[in-house]
Each structure stands twice: as structure tokens, then as C-alpha cells.
Structure 1
Amino acid sequence: MSDLHIRCTTPSDIDTVLQFWRDAAEGTSISDDHDGVARLITTDPEALLLAERDGILTGTVIAGFDGWRCSAYRLAVHPDHRRQGIATALLEAAEQRFITLGGRRVDAMVLEANERAHHTWVAAGYQREDHWRRWVKPLTQS
């Protein structure tokens, strides 16, 4: 994996990341737009990690930390690059970030229907807590 490079997102990466998520990620969110990603990397410049090989974006993960909880979102690897350790490398980078920040537990948001992703998270040592159900409400700007 020496040819894999993991780095933080810059503003010039936003459109590439959005296209990548359309191609590689399962589903989208209302915050998956230029303004949403720009706000994320302005608020926390180290939160969105990119994996690149030969200058090509191959994977992403959002490693968010609010001072209390560590949250992992948008772990995605391009279909042409799966099963090469990219997701593992991204999760290791995210976890190292969390440890550096003083985090103690990672909560991961994973689509219920994405069985392939479930296997990835289990292989990385994560456990599903069925007793927790997330309740969400999209916020609208007034």
C-alpha cells in the first residue's frame, strides 16, 4: 500500500469528491452539495480524508469529532479499487485522528441495506448496536 496516499480535503477537491460520491457511494444526503462540503472543511479542515493512488481519488471517509463523540461517515471506495485495503487504511487514519484528538469511541453511520459495507466495518473491529436507532431530521435554513 506504499503507493496509497491519504490526505485532507482542500477546497479545490470539493467537486471531485461530490462526483466520486455519486459514482462510488451508496445513496446521497441532503448535505452532499458544494456548500455542505465547503462548510465541513471550513469548520474542520482535517475531517474529510481522501485516499489517492497515482493522483486518482480512490476512497473517502469523514472523520468528524465534536469534542465529545467521534463519528465516521461517507466511507466509500471506488468500485474499481475495492478489496485492496483502501477502506482499512482510511479507517486507520480516521481512528488515529480520533486518538490524537482524545476521542474514546467511534460511531459509524452505515446504510442498513449496504451489506457489503457491514462486512467492511465488522472486519475493522466495529460492532453493530441494534438497540440504538438513529432519529434524524433535516434542518432547513430560514
Structure 2
Amino acid sequence: MIIRHIEPNDYRALCELWQAAQLTFDIGDAEEDFAWALQHYGQHYFVMEEESRIIGSVLAAFDGRRGWIYHLAVHPEFQRRGLGRQLMEHAEASLSHMGCLKINLLIEPHNLGVKQFYMRLGYTPANNQFMEKIIHSQ
């Protein structure tokens, strides 16, 4: 298995992975939006491959103060083998190399079963209230 940077032509395989892993698609996940984000922030976007098949992903971003983790996914056929941990460690190292001191992530309500996974990696629950405002709809 290898971990490499995401490339623009990975989009369709990533969508299939994210659907299999039951990740929610949201604004910004459309192909053209993803391509823009990849061009501007893709230095922290990674996939894991086995025999040229994408079986995992993690998107990380750094705003100069904090890092963020998005779309950590391992295909269900490959879960519980430490691959998610490897992807997270890869993303964390990439962010750390940029000077990132703190990494945040959000867990969607339907996916709270992954909370223990993140806690084993050293993440702790925060008492923040998530809010959003959609400023551009497609």
C-alpha cells in the first residue's frame, strides 16, 4: 500500500470511496469545487492505494493557525487494519511540517462511532458549537 498526493483524475474514485464509507457530500464536494480546492490546498490531500485501487483518503487543510481534517475514509473492506491511523499520521505530519500546532476535525452525527478511533489518536472532544452559513449555492 502506498500513500500519495491526490490528483485531479482521482475524483470519481474518491466519490465512490466516500459513498462506500458513508461520508456526507456537501457544498464544495462537486467536481469543479474539488478541483479548485485541490489546486489551492492539495499539498495536504492524500489517498492510500493498494494495487492502483484507492482504498483510503484524507484531506487536510491549514489556515495558518489551525489544521483541519476532512474526508478521512477507508473503504469498508479494508477497515480495522490500522490504515486510517496511517492516513491520519501522514496528514498530521504534513500539517506539522507547515508549522501547524493544533488540528481540528468534526464528526457528523450519523458517524459518532468513530469518536473512539480519534480519541485513541489523541484527539479530545471540544465543547464548541458548530455553525455554518451558506453564502453561495449551486
1:27 is matched by which residue type in structure 2?
Answer: T
TM-score of the superposed pair, with normalisation by structure 2:
0.92
Q: Which runs of 5+ in 1 are unaligned?
A: none
DSSP 3-state at the match of 1:51: strand
Match in the other structure for 2:4: 7
1:39 aligns with 2:33: no
- Distance in 1, matches of 2:6 and 2:90, equals 14
Cα distance in 2, alignment partners of residues 25 and 60 from structure 1: 13
Amino acid at match of 1:127: T
1:97-127 deviation digits (Å, cap 9, x = unpaired): 1110000000012112313211211111110
Is residue 2:69 matched to residue 1:72?
yes
Q: Distance in 2 between matches of 1:60 and 1:108?
A: 15
Q: SS of the counterpart of 1:125?
A: coil
Identity of aligned residues (%): 25
Paired residue for 1:115?
Answer: 112
Q: Distance in 2 between matches of 1:138 and 1:64?
A: 19
Residue 131 of structure 2 corresponds to which residue in structure 1?
135
Q: Is the CA contact 1:25–1:77 (under 8 Å) kept in the aligned structure 2?
A: no
Structure with the bigger percentage of helix: 2
Contact 2:44 2:95 in 1 (8 A): no
Q: Tell me how far apart the structure 2 counterparts of residues 60 and 25 of structure 1 sit (CA, whole Å).
A: 13
User: What RMSD over aligned residues (CA atoms) do the two structures have, in Å?
Assistant: 1.5
C-alpha distance in 2 between matches for 1:79 and 1:141: 32
Q: Distance in 2 between matches of 1:70 and 1:7?
A: 19
Moved over 3 A (4+): none
Counterpart-to-counterpart distance in 2, 1:110 and 1:139: 22
Q: Which runs of 5+ in 2 are unaligned?
A: none
The number of residues matched between the two structures is 138
Matched, 1:58 2:38: no
Q: Is the 8 A contact 2:69 2:103 kept in 1?
A: yes
**Residue identity in the other structure for 1:55:** S
For 1:141 and 1:26, the matched residues in 2 are separated by 20
CA distance in 2, matches of 1:89, 1:77: 11
Matches of 2:22 and 2:99, distance apart in 1: 29
